[in-house]
């Protein structure tokens, strides 16, 4: 399984293939633009800094995010 991250033009920016930990660091592995392998490591300090980017409205959105449906892609026909 993998997770795709797309840009504003719906083109793939990154595919995340795994999320794990190495000691106290969060390790995210994937490919950028479908070809360049990447391993990112996030420290607890950086994760806490990332939490400072959130506001109440965004936290509420994230709580419901996994239960939302994606909008159909442009040109896709709706099922009747």
pLDDT in tens, 11-39: 999 999 999 999 999 999 999 998 999 99
Q: Does position 1 have pLDDT exceeding 90, yes or no?
A: no
Assess if residue 78 is contained within a domain.
Answer: no
Assess if residue 74 is contained within a domain.
Answer: no
Q: Does position 73 have pLDDT exceeding 90, yes or no?
A: no
Whole-number pLDDT of residue 71: 79
Tally of domains in the chain = 1
Assess if residue 76 is contained within a domain.
Answer: no
Euclidean distance between CA atoms 71 and 43, whole angstroms? 34
**DSSP secondary structure of 11-41:** -EEEEEEEEEEETTEEEEEEEETTTEEEEEE
Assess if residue 52 is contained within a domain.
Answer: yes
Assess if residue 79 is contained within a domain.
Answer: no
Assess if residue 27 is contained within a domain.
Answer: yes
Cβ distance 13 to 5 under 8 Å?
Answer: yes
Whole-number pLDDT of residue 76: 58
Whole-number pLDDT of residue 4: 94
Q: What is the mean pLDDT of residues 33-46?
A: 95
Assess if residue 75 is contained within a domain.
Answer: no
Q: Which domain holds residue 22?
A: 3-65
Cβ distance 27 to 41 under 8 Å?
Answer: yes
> 10 Å Cβ neighbour count for 72?
10
């Amino acid at each position: 399984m993998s997770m795709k991250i797309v840009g504003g033009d719906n083109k793939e920016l990154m595919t995340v293939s795994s999320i794990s930990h190495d000691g106290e660091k969060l390790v995210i592995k994937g490919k950028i633009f479908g070809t360049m392998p990447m391993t990112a490591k996030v420290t607890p300090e950086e994760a806490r800094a990332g939490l400072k980017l959130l506001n109440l409205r965004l936290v509420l959105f994230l709580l419901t995010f996994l239960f939302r449906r994606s909008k159909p892609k442009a040109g896709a026909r709706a099922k009747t």
